A and B are shown apart, each in its own frame.
Chain A
Amino acid sequence: MPIKIKVVLPTAFVRHTDGQKQFDSAATNLPGLIADIDQTFPALSTQIKDEGGKLRRFINIYVNDEDIRFLGGETYAFQDGDEVMLIPSIAGGCC
């Protein structure tokens, strides 16, 4: 059965998506989502990946509030209805 996930983007990215802050994807995992972005929003793709084609390390990816790395990263299989968020990493805390 095909699945549908919702992908949410920060404002900094929408200049590459014709102003869209979110879009739907049928990707089943993270590599699939990246491939989908390559196809649909090539400009966004070059922003979120480095010269070597890897996701930039300053991007965090969350699935329904959880860092995807805690879910298995690239091996995590998206579930129908998952909300996937791309957010630049930032710091805070004491020091």
Chain B
Amino acid sequence: MEYSCSAYELKCNECGRRFGNRPLSGCPDCLAPLEIVYDLEAARGTFTRQAIQAGPFNIWRYAALLPIPEGFQPDLPVGFTPLIRAKNLGKRIGATNLYVKNDAVCFPTLSFKDRVVSVALANAQKFGFDIVGCSSTGNLANSVAAQAARLGLKATILVPADLEPAKILNTQVYGARLVRIDGNYDHVNRLCTQIADEYAWGFVNVNLRPYYAEGSKTVGYEIAEQLGWRLPDNVVCPMAGGSLIRKIRKAFNELIYLGLVEDKPVRFFGAQATGCSPISQAVKQGLDYIEPQRPNTIARSLAIGNPADGPAAAKMILSTGGWAEDVSDIEIVSGMQELAETEGIFTETAGGVTTAVTARLYAHGRISPDDITVVCITGNGLKTTDAISGQYREERAVRPRIADFDEYLRELDASTEPELATAGASLAY
């Protein structure tokens, strides 16, 4: 298949200066983050419903509006994850038109990071980096390690030392060099900025960041296409750095501009853990100023105390008439259990945050029950099992005899019935 891309280049969000295409994350003049802009007029011919539908069932069907270097032949089928109608969860939280966009199953490493990394590493190769890296709270580390292995690039990955063991193992298995940093994510991030400054390495979330972030748009394209080329009324999205929620909106706006979907207002809702909620706090105060926090939450993949896209995310949420909420660690665990028990989706702690926040948004009347609402689940629960271990008791082994089994069931009914009845349903949002 021929992947034709529209012309694209880096542009400063603040001063509007353009920089062509190179590994650069911030404007040298005003230091603001850079964004990729496209020749959308040229895309009119190539980014059509027909062309998209003729493409493969992965993110490369949207290649015409991704920053993919000429000649790049993507062969990793990332994305096009399920959008499922969540009737059971909806029933529980009072929603009649609820959908879950399930990136807990994104290929190859079970998080939405596979999308962004595939776009970032295509550009890392183009810019000639032999060594790629990232600062990560886990999912990004997994994805960079896996995709670097496949592309024959060396990977050096920096993470906070206290990361979940599964996320560490899931990075090391691909042969990546993993450096545990004695500090939180914001410390790791700062160090990576300095390393990218000193070493000629391609850091996907530092000097390759504008390219990387564009991969997130595919979540938005997929939602619209999977809803039958229409936009939802609301999107609920987890927020760490604040990038994904903005990119989903960018995707919707591009689709509207190109006439692929009908123009309609979509409200955006952000989800954070109370233990790290700088963006949600800003939204609640109606501000786009972010007061940094020292993170303290089990939702470590969202634990960014000083999010660079936070001001823009807060501003965007407020401008759409949306809202942001944050939930406690106990609610996060319940959210994970609720999504698993109702829809069969085992998500990581970040998904617990998003689910619990969604429930609260309905409970507080922030979202009308009949609205078409899409909840973005971005990572898999197998990576954060430590968050819910201890929630379930280990039962005794039963002898392989029917009489023993009967006895066991009677015992179980007598002892655990009340306990089971409250599991997952006990939340007061």
Q: Which residues of A come within 8 Å of B, CB atoms?
A: 10-12, 47-48, 50, 56-60, 62, 65, 67, 69-70, 85, 87-95
Contact = CB atoms under 8 A, between A and B. Distances in A.
Interface stretch (B22-30, B92-100, B400-408): B22-30
A62 B292 CA distance: 13
Ranked nearest first, the 5 interchain pairs of A and B with the lowest CB-CB distance are A91-B241, A93-B240, A91-B308, A95-B244, A92-B205
B112 interface: yes
A70 B294 contact: yes
A89 B241 CA distance: 11
Nearest to B26: A88
A93 B137 contact: yes
Contacts of A12: 26, 28, 31, 197
Interface residues of B, number: 59
A68 to B, nearest CB: 10
Interface of B: 25-26, 28-33, 111-113, 134-140, 183, 185-187, 189-190, 192-194, 197, 205-206, 209, 216, 237-245, 289, 291-292, 294, 301-304, 306-311, 350, 376, 378-379
B265 to A, nearest CB: 22
Given A10-B193, A94-B379, 9 more contacts: A12-B31, A56-B30, A57-B311, A67-B186, A69-B292, A91-B241, A91-B308, A94-B137, A94-B378
Contact of B205 (A48, A58, A59, A90): A90
B47 to A, nearest CB: 24
User: Which of A48, A67, A92 has the most chain B CB atoms inside 10 A of its CB?
Assistant: A92
A34 B135 CA distance: 30
Contacts of B26: 12, 58, 88, 90
Contacts of A88: 25-26, 31, 193
A51 to B, nearest CB: 10
Contacts of B206: 90, 92
Contacts of A11: 197
B238 A95 contact: yes
Given A93-B303, A94-B113, A95-B239, A58 B294 contact: no
A77 B383 CA distance: 43
Contacts of B378: 94-95
Contact of B190 (A47, A57, A60, A69): A60
Contact of B302 (A48, A50, A67, A93): A93
A59 B221 CA distance: 33
Given A58-B32, A90-B189, A95 B194 contact: no
Contacts of B136: 92-93
B193 A47 contact: no
A62 B305 CA distance: 14
A70 B291 CA distance: 10
B197 A10 contact: yes
Contacts of A92: 134-137, 140, 185, 189, 192, 205-206, 209, 240-241, 304
B209 to A, nearest CB: 6
A58 B292 contact: no
A11 to B, nearest CB: 5
A89 B135 CA distance: 14
B241 A65 contact: no
Contacts of B197: 10-12
A58 B26 CA distance: 9
A65 B378 CA distance: 31
Contacts of A65: 183, 187
Contact of A95 (B29, B33, B243): B243
B304 A91 contact: yes
Contacts of B376: 95
Contacts of A89: 306, 308
6 contacts: A57-B289, A91-B205, A91-B309, A92-B240, A94-B113, A95-B350
Contacts of B294: 70
Nearest to B310: A91
Contacts of B239: 95
Nearest to A67: B292
Contacts of A85: 190
B241 A95 contact: yes
User: Which of B197, B205, B379 has the most chain A CB atoms inside 10 A of its CB?
Assistant: B197
Nearest to A48: B31
B31 A91 contact: no
B294 to A, nearest CB: 7
B193 A87 contact: yes
Nearest to A89: B308
Nearest to B270: A95
A48 B29 CA distance: 9
Nearest to A9: B197
